Amino acid sequence: MKEIYFTVTEPLGIHARPAGILVKEAKKFASRITVFKGEKSCDMKKLLALMSMAVKQGEEIVVQFDGPDEEECAAAIEKFLQENF
Amino acid sequence: MLVAEGKSILKRIGIGRIKIYRTPAYDISEEEIRDPAAEVERFNDAVQKAIEQQGVLYEKALESAGEESAAIFEAHQMMLEDDDLQDTAREIITDQKKSAEYATQTAFDQYAQMFAELEDPYMQARSADLIDVKMAVLDVLLGNDTESLQGTEPSILVAEDLAPSETVKLDKSLLLGLITREGSAGSHTAILARSMNLPSLIQCKDIDDSWDGRMAILDGYNDRVIIDPTEEELAELTARREEDLKKDALLQDLKGRPSVTLDGRKVRVYANIGGPEDLAGVKENDAEGIGLFRSEFVYLHSKEAPSEEVQFAAYKRVVEAMAPRTVIIRTCDIGADKTIDYMHLDKEANPALGFRAIRICLTRKDFFKTQLRALLRASAYGSMGIMFPMIVSRWEIVEARKILEECKAELLQEGHKVGKYELGIMVETPAAVLCADDLAEEVDFFSLGTNDLTQYTCAIDRQNANLERFSDTHHPAVLKAIQMTVEAGHRHGIWVGICGELGADPSLTETFLRMGVDELSVNAGSVLPLRKIIRGLDLSGQAEK
């Protein structure tokens, strides 16, 4: 299992359309990807669940990757997060 | 004849038959169904079709309204593709043996409710998107033909309210006017109306189904609609409408032309705006820049002091959209008649002379720095001016500029880009006029705020109706003050503009030009009429007395 920490800098937080693109990116991988914010968690492959976490600017999330392609998956998602959020 | 009142968006007249835009009835049965597998199939097909439709709407909006408006439909597609949402609906069909319609309604409403309960206002607003996509799926399931709701004849459309998906679907060539019961000045209906120059009445509480097919005049000048008008009314308002159209055509001809007098004096005609939503009007009216961007809107529209990022996004959007044209942004001008809860300002006996504008900013330095940092960062994206309001003394500019320099140094150290910008002040107090020579040494430009300048010069409260007899917008003292300011500015080689209401007064245009005013910043609708006047002036001879 791999884990990354990420703090959101995008003013609107993880919002609708970019969140949708993030979900698409996540779906390319076989690994299970779980997003944690405080006590809440959700599957990164599910848009509405991800949006309803309402991750705002300045908040930190933890993302866990679990599966056969977790190494490259973690690298790709981390890069995507840095570029878009 | 029948008259109903509302709030008009534009001073325009629309004449034609009324068409009631009826949102289809959604009769959804709660009965048990026999074949859940078939119902699941129907649901899957409907969702697929709705996704395709959102794709078509995306293309359509991209073409007619641009990427920003279109993005919403892409987000709708992604919501429809959500597995959780679809699974919830499918479970209702299989477990409770309900119809695809019932399952759609229940599942989508449940998610809409979940978003509505989130604290974040942005996420709350997504609830409306879920309702919008729910309708799209239901329309497919129920076979509702939403394309023909508008009819095939040109008409004045009357609706309760219009969702973004509905406004995009409308055939604009058949629209003579738009009347809604709901809506605000910032609603989709209003935005559509402004971008299309469409006569529109919102908040018209008396709309009625019985209006369907009847002749009507939407009178935007008087915020009303007349159903079954008399022959005389019809003749009178048709004539007025034709006059408007003629004037429009003449003004359209002025787009892209310079604001220059017959003898070659150039004047910059800029627009005043309150926020990014006014950009369409600025472009539509071909303003040569933005002479006053009232930054208060970022403060008034939020529950807590807006963050640097939120402000940066708004300023950047305007500066970027206007580049290479200039955008002058006035720093926070709250206080006096514009109060905000989270600022916790004390009640004052004399707010117009009280703790407001630059006085608040210089006292609450951190609050001021948030805005200055956002402005400096936005300056990297185009041509910007920063303007301080309510200046009375030279030290205020010196201190404000020091804070600005401090912010700039911090930003550069943090690795942010900062562009070039002009620095100016509002001249709106008699003190600033009398010390204009001193103040001019500190800044790149002056902009005369004639509303406050008149109020402070004449000691007349502009909100007080009892003072009408004593108030004179052309008071010689005000005109003298403007002249003194222009002369002082020019002595020090800086430009001087007017951004108050007086700037748009056509009876003073020649006077201002003869004084040497370099820039007039007015509401967007006055830009072309003002350009027309300027192009007809000849300043080479003596002024007519």
Interface test with A, best of B51, B69, B108, B120 (most A CBs within 10 A): B120
CA distance B272 to B204: 28
The residue extents of the domains of chain B are: 2-23+148-231, 36-143, 266-536
Contact (CB, 8 A) for A23 and A47? yes
- Search chain B and give the residue with CA nearest A10: B309
Contact (CB, 8 A) for B202 and B189? yes
Interface of B with A in 85-144 (CB under 8 A): 85, 111, 114-115, 118-120, 122-123, 126, 129
**CB-closest option in B82, B122, B313 to A47:** B82
The residue extents of the domains of chain A are: 2-84
Question: Is residue A54 less than 8 Å (CB to CB) from chain B?
Answer: yes
Contact criterion met (CB < 8 Å) for B111 and A48: yes
Q: Residue B104: is its pLDDT beyond 90? A: yes
Q: Which long-range contacts (CB under 8 A, 24 or more apart) does B174-180 make?
A: B174/B150, B176/B14, B176/B15, B176/B16, B176/B218, B177/B14, B177/B16, B177/B201, B177/B218, B179/B6, B179/B204, B179/B207, B179/B218, B179/B225, B180/B204, B180/B207
Banded model confidence at residue B517, pLDDT cuts 50, 70, 90: very high
Residue A42, number of CB atoms within 10 A of its CB: 19
Domain B2-23+148-231, CATH among 3.30.930.10, 3.40.50.720, 3.50.30.10, 3.30.360.10: 3.50.30.10
**Does domain B36-143 sit in CATH 1.10.274.10?**
yes
Residue B231, number of CB atoms within 10 A of its CB: 7
The per-residue pLDDT for B232 is 93
Q: What is the mean pLDDT of residues B273-281?
A: 82
**CB-closest option in B120, B310, B313 to A54:** B120
CA distance A54 to B195: 32
Residue B407 per-residue DSSP state: H
**CB-closest option in A46, A51, A56 to B126:** A51
Q: Torsion angle of alpha carbons A74, A75, A81, A84, nearest 10°? A: -140
Residue B495 per-residue DSSP state: E
- Search chain B and give the residue with CA nearest A24: B78
Chain B residues touching residue A57 (CB < 8 angstroms): 307, 309
Q: Torsion angle of alpha carbons B482, B484, B490, B493, nearest 10°? A: -100
Q: What is the mean pLDDT of chain B?
A: 89
Question: Is residue A38 less than 8 Å (CB to CB) from chain B?
Answer: no
Q: Residue B545: is its pLDDT beyond 60? A: no
Tens digits of per-residue pLDDT, A8-45?
888 778 877 778 888 888 988 889 999 999 888 999 98
Contact criterion met (CB < 8 Å) for B84 and A49: yes
Question: Is residue A20 less than 8 Å (CB to CB) from chain B?
Answer: yes
The per-residue pLDDT for B188 is 61
Interface of B with A in 269-308 (CB under 8 A): 307
Tens digits of per-residue pLDDT, B357-386?
999 999 999 999 999 999 999 999 999 999
Q: Which CATH class is domain B266-536?
A: alpha beta
Q: Which residues of B are catalytic?
A: 188, 499
Chain B residues touching residue A24 (CB < 8 angstroms): 78
The per-residue pLDDT for A85 is 85
The per-residue pLDDT for B494 is 97
Q: What is the mean pLDDT of residues B414-429?
A: 96
Query: The whole model's pTM is what?
Result: 0.61
Question: Is residue A73 less than 8 Å (CB to CB) from chain B?
Answer: no
Banded model confidence at residue B342, pLDDT cuts 50, 70, 90: confident
Contact criterion met (CB < 8 Å) for B74 and A17: yes
* Mean pLDDT lowest among B59-63, B143-147, B523-527: B143-147
**CB-closest option in B84, B119, B122 to A48:** B84
Catalytic residue among A4, A6, A10, A15: A15
The answer for residues whose C-beta is within 8 angstroms of residue B161's C-beta and 6 or more apart is B180, B181, B182, B183, B187, B189
Domain A2-84, CATH among 3.80.10.10, 3.40.225.10, 3.30.1340.10, 3.30.300.30: 3.30.1340.10
CA distance B119 to A53: 11
**CB-closest option in A11, A48, A56 to B82:** A48
ipTM for the assembly: 0.80
Tens digits of per-residue pLDDT, B145-183?
776 677 778 899 998 887 766 776 677 778 899 999 887
